[in-house]
Amino acid sequence: MPQSFSIHREPWEAADGARLRAAQRAELDARYGSDDHEPGTAPTADDVPVFLVARDDAGRAVACGGLRPLEPGRAEVKRMYVEPDRRGSGVATLVLRAIEDEARALGVRRLLLETGTLQPEALRFYLREGYERIENFGPYAGEELSICCARDL
């Protein structure tokens, strides 16, 4: 039977979102062999005003993603993560589309993101979902481990 998910805004500091972000960090630390794989300022509640959590039918938080405004008309996807046992379920696409809807509501016309060279499945996902590779922007410029993408909304 297909799984259904609900997606809602939740406070950055809420326990389920913090748990998902910690799991993401642990996975990336293991992939990159260190905790020094994210250029720029780490996201916080102050600069990620939109944070979404996806929950399964049982109410368990299984995926998340946030939106960091950059300059007028542009924002960055931050902290997209899906628990490993829910990958392939379609929840990542639901979260990404919800982030895009939130971005449009805020007047964002171009959505940017950064992923890494050791995250090929993430890059495949974003390209499949209509994002295109772009030159690394902002804090990612010149970073060998970073791959940036964007999509006009």
pLDDT tens for residues 3-34?
A: 799 999 999 999 999 999 999 999 999 999 88
What pLDDT is attached to residue 41? 85
- Cβ atoms within 10 Å of 50's Cβ, excluding its own: 20
What pLDDT is attached to residue 2? 58
Which residues in the chain show pLDDT less than 50? 1
What pLDDT is attached to residue 116? 93
Comparing CA positions, the residue from 103, 148, 110 lying closest to residue 126 is 148
Predicted TM-score of the model (pTM): 0.94
Residue 77 to residues 22, 33, 54, 58: CA-CA distances in angstroms?
A: 17, 24, 15, 27
What pLDDT is attached to residue 37? 65
